[in-house]
Copies of this chain bind each other. A is one copy, B any other.
Amino acid sequence: MNRETERLYFASDYMEGAHPAIMQKLLETNLEKTVGYGLDAYSESARAKIREACQAPEAMVHFLVGGTQTNATVIDALLKSYQGVISARTGHVSVHEAGAIEFGGHKVLTIEEKEGKVTAEGVKQCLMEYWKDDNHEHMVMPGMVYLSQPTEYGTIYSLDELEDISSVCRENGVYLYVDGARLAYALAAPGNDVTLPDLARYCDAFYIGGTKCGALFGEAVVFPNPKTVPHFFTIVKQHGALLAKGRIAGIQFDTLFTDGLYDKIGENAIRMADQVRAALRAKGYEQGIENPTNQVFLIVENDRQAQLARQVELAFMERVDAQHVMMRIATSWATSQADIDRLIALL
């Protein structure tokens, strides 16, 4: 195929396979026999490395397959049957999980957000409104807060913001859970000051995304306090989320947490996204929500969008008005300079 005329793909950050080091390791270990369900030595090793990276020596770590599955399983595990989860109106659990949280019996209690982020104040107000309402016993009790880092719009919480939200949660006895589907891109973002140990210190649970950050699939759930959820293994099984050949996830995370790979794996995506942002500015495009991670939002006219669509696949975000749409360009750990050059030329 002629590289010059080949279609470009920038619709998402899960369009390639896995980091070569992962493929290499999977290949090397392929015919070894190990026990299943994540009890193998590779998974154990991955868990140990994650605990160390998080400075959370007691943490319980489990490997699940995908993001929606992980959110549904962890939220169901943390909530009582009559509780709901507070989320930004734009949170993935609220909008794009086909009702997986409700399937588990829980309401998503949406609050206002700005560029995908909620505030400690917003969370506090939601909690106060519930507890001060005379009829609160007839309402869904908020039992936890769901954040994504980075958010669905690529923005990131600062350490101060995370700390404030965590304080509100702890003062009010609700859990804090962070969806890290794209966590590597937050960790590598310029200006980011939230580290893995910070997440372990401020959250009751969070997951380190693999699917969008260099793995074939897989999300590493971390409960810094291992007593938070008894029998989580069975809950994972009940949710259909237990991988028989658990080591396939274990090997991937073991690789991602060897020699600090996970900390660095997002850097390429951000370098590439920054080039696109600069080009868009130079060419006078209107950008949507600006952010320091791997998602670039641009607002284009319908005609322009139709034209672009013939050569490059972008993600549709929302209709801005009758004439304009907001599209997304997502880069990844694997995006090549050649593809970015071609994209910029097209724009």
Contacts and interface: CB of A to CB of B under 8 A. Distances in A.
A98 B238 contact: yes
B33 A15 contact: yes
A303 interface: no
B33 A9 contact: yes
A82 B217 contact: no
Most buried by B among A72, A76, A99, A134: A99
A237 B135 CA distance: 12
Copies of this protein chain in the complex: 4
A197 interface: no
A234 B137 contact: yes
Contact of A30 (B23, B34, B70, B82): B23
Given A82-B238, A100-B238, A139-B95, A9 B35 contact: yes
A84 interface: yes
Given A9-B33, A96-B138, A99-B84, A67 B238 contact: no
Nearest to A319: B132
A71 B137 CA distance: 18
A231 B23 contact: no
A211 interface: yes
A244 interface: yes
Interface stretch (A103-111, A155-163, A268-276, A287-295): A103-111
A334 interface: yes
B234 A17 contact: no
A35 B243 contact: no
Interface in A128-142: 133-135, 137-141
Interface string A79-104: 01110100000000001111110111
Contact of A245 (B14, B84, B231, B234): B14
A16 B36 contact: no
Nearest to A245: B14
18 contacts: A16-B32, A17-B29, A17-B31, A17-B32, A23-B27, A26-B26, A35-B313, A82-B231, A82-B234, A96-B138, A97-B237, A97-B240, A98-B139, A98-B234, A100-B239, A103-B104, A211-B245, A240-B240
- Nearest 10 A/B pairs, CB to CB: A69-B240, A17-B30, A98-B237, A9-B33, A15-B33, A98-B238, A99-B140, A102-B107, A134-B316, A14-B244
Given A17-B248, A71-B240, A81-B103, 12 more contacts: A17-B30, A17-B31, A20-B30, A66-B240, A69-B240, A70-B240, A77-B81, A82-B234, A96-B135, A97-B240, A98-B235, A211-B244
